[in-house]
Amino acid sequence: MKNTILGSIYLALASSIWGGMYVVVKIVVSVIPPLELVWMRYLIAIIALLLIGFITRQNWRINKCHILLIIFIGIIGNAISIVTQEIGTMLSTAQMGAIITSATPAFMVIFARILLKERLTLKKGLSVCLATIGVILIVGVGHVNLSSKLGGLSLLIAALTWALMSVLVKRVPSNYSQVVVTTYSILVALIVLTPFVLPRLHEMNISQLTHPTIWGGVLYLGIISTACGFLLWNRGLQMLNASSGGLFFFFQPVVGTLLGWLILGENIGVTFWIGSILILTGVLFVIIEKK
């Protein structure tokens, strides 16, 4: 019971942090392109995680049989998912980013069944259907322009890849420190992204980066959203099963939508809310499912 409560707190905190992240990304990405932004936040996160690791005297040794798994986690979750997430947020809205990626718990149910052999029940299947319909409503509404539809598709890819990564994390032995696992997976993503980013860095407007809002946003994304958020998420997943752990994503759209409305002045349409309700209903079906 203690692990369940602690795991729930860790996951709720991580998801709330990421709900606010969409608003920050929407502001910062107007100056720093998505790929460069992901690379910069990972560079900052690596420094923060290494400091945490050395202060807490972590054991950095990883068995050879688990290296490939961590590489997959880094490429799928930390590289592909986060890049598509920020591209999608740039092309759409902070609300859409938070809501569509909240379909992740339903996708985690499918991957948990395939990879971890967790039981797939009628309620879990229904949750996937509801979440999918919700995503289609949000992405496919007629008045949304092409940019937002492409953004929605990119966000859907982000949700799928993050769900797969979250299930893969469950296959990492629990005796490994989450500081170590998170550091290595982010390092993998940083290495993968570097060849694509370095030739483009000179195109950035350095004078705009000195604005407090921009560098403050980058620090938030690197330290709070990436280093702290990933640590909380990975630790929480180790304490709960994959199907239940993903459910705490519902904090993300609530926080993301609220902040998008308060800070960015984004409008909340009826169709948007219908899609959101369907996604959250799908999540609720999994929450009440008996283990």
Inter-helix orientation angle 146-169/229-239, to 10°? 50
pLDDT digits (tens, 9 = 90+) for 90-128: 787 766 666 676 677 778 877 888 887 777 677 767 777
Please state, in angstroms and rounded to a whole number, the distance separating the CA atoms of residues 108 and 217: 29
Residues whose CB is less than 8 angstroms from the CB of residue 194 and which lie 6 or more positions away in sequence, other chains included = 39
Residue (of 14, 16, 17, 34) closest to 25 by Cα position: 34
pLDDT at 98 (0 to 100):
63
What proportion of the chain, given as a percentage, has pLDDT over 70?
A: 80
Question: φ, ψ for residue 33 (rounded to 5)?
Answer: -55, 155
Residue pair 92/155 in contact by the 8 Å Cβ criterion: yes
Nearest partner of 286 among 72, 64, 83, 130, judged by Cα: 130
What pLDDT shows up at residue 291? 46
Q: Across 26-30, 146-150, 191-195, 223-227, which has the greatest mean pLDDT?
A: 191-195
Q: What is the pLDDT of residues 147-176, one digit of tens each?
A: 667 888 888 898 899 889 988 888 888 888
Count CB atoms within 10 A of the CB of residue 177.
16
Whole-number pLDDT of residue 50 = 93
Contacts of residue 209, Cβ cutoff 8 Å, sequence gap at least 6: 31, 32, 215, 218
pTM of the model: 0.74
Q: What is the pLDDT of residues 185-216, one digit of tens each?
A: 999 999 999 998 888 877 777 777 778 888 88
Q: For 230-271, what is the HEC assignment? A: HHHHHHHHHHCCHHHHHHHHHHHHHHHHHHHHHHCCCCCCHH
